[in-house]
Structure 1
């Protein structure tokens, strides 16, 4: 009989797992999202990937909503700062466009971003950049503080709408139907729609996106934040009716 040398090993032994960390959990969640989509990023699926139990994850992330917000914050780190040169308006539009493009690249995340509440460092960096550009343009602090929310809401909603169309097998058919309905609208009942017709959906998406950002920036510049207890006045007008 041949003798075995060395210390016997249990068949149940395997390499030790790396310690769980919030950063590691979020990085794994981002990987799942890239491969399988955000809908697959659940605590159960994440625990399976990390070879642990779902209960272990709740020490680091309270729920799926917080996890999705953390994923959003992680990807916000890929949004580049605007290039040097150009006016503050041009650089602000470039920054907002880069944020929108990041969401375009992750359609399921774009829809989740409408209700996500990120609070991580990359989200703070984005807010800081927007506020700095508004300040450079001389926008009053109160208008900048309210305006940054409106700008990001518009960018997020634009990306979410795009994601819905990308995910629809009938997107082109639906647009064709809408265009036909607008062309055939009866002027007697809907005169304004009939007058504008195709113009309501005309123009390339890039031009409409740029116009939307510029329209909002102009509004932020020229619309004062109402004083507490007083109704907001229309820009450039008065309250006399």
Structure 2
């Protein structure tokens, strides 16, 4: 005769691991890597952690904060084993690694335009960039203001790339743009007509050139001063 099934006593169930901010972020990162950032919601995360969504808000402010912390967790890789060389070379490698993280996770690139990472790895990234800029001779204020410009350029470039990559019209829109530039009338648009090949040239080297331009400007410009607006 079959014995009746009994529900396990709650006291006999294994205790759930205590919630922690690091544990929440690690679980969110695992979901994103498996299914994409769009699947990372408070409800889904709570289910994975066997808790209620309200419990998560003790550790993260909102979903934007959670996404920012996911990006921060990924930034740990940008600092590992920076190559030997000049401050400028090491800075360029660091910024390109940051770009690689965003290119690998386009949803985070778009998010970072409005909600930047703000955790320990991001702070380490900022501190390292400041050190390289000052090693190159930038004034304190130029370095402090310039780090924002460098990170914004890289983030915006990655976000734009992500938008183009996911757009069904990207190829046709680019073809139309190239055709418009190629057909520019030298009489009405002499500069566009003369530089039409250069306007649509370059890929990786164009990104590198702009980074070099920004770094040069930060290091060589006169020390920034606070002025009245």
Same topology, TM > 0.5 = yes
RMSD, aligned α-carbons: 2.3
Once the two structures are superposed, residues 155-188 of structure 1 have per-residue CA deviations (whole angstroms, 9 ceiling, x without a partner) of 1111111111221233222222211111012233
Deviation at 1:102, TM superposition (A): 0.9
Specify which of 211, 214, 217 is matched with residue 216 of structure 1: 214
Deviation at 1:135, TM superposition (A): 1.7
Secondary structure at 1:180's aligned position in 2?
helix
Deviation at 1:196, TM superposition (A): 1.2
Q: Which of structure 1's runs of 4+ aligned residues deviate more than 4 A?
A: 1-4, 11-14
Once the two structures are superposed, residues 10-29 of structure 1 have per-residue CA deviations (whole angstroms, 9 ceiling, x without a partner) of 34755432221111110111
Once the two structures are superposed, residues 26-45 of structure 1 have per-residue CA deviations (whole angstroms, 9 ceiling, x without a partner) of 01111111122222222122
More divergent stretch after superposition (160-169 vs 170-179): 170-179
* TM-score, L = length of structure 1: 0.86
Question: As a proportion of its length, which structure holds more helix?
Answer: 2
Q: Which residue of 2 aligns with 1:190?
A: 189
Deviation at 1:230, TM superposition (A): 5.9
- Whether the 8 Å contact between 2:141 and 2:224 is mirrored in structure 1 is no
Q: Which residue of 2 aligns with 1:155?
A: 154
Count of residue pairs brought into register by the alignment = 227
Which segments of 5 or more consecutive residues in structure 2 lack a partner in the other structure? none
1:175 and 1:82 map into 2 onto residues whose CA distance is 38
Larger Rg: 1
Q: Which residue of 2 aligns with 1:119?
A: 118
Deviation at 1:81, TM superposition (A): 4.4
- Whether the 8 Å contact between 2:150 and 2:214 is mirrored in structure 1 is yes
Residues 212 and 81 of structure 1: CA distance in aligned 2, closer, same or farther (over 3 Å): farther
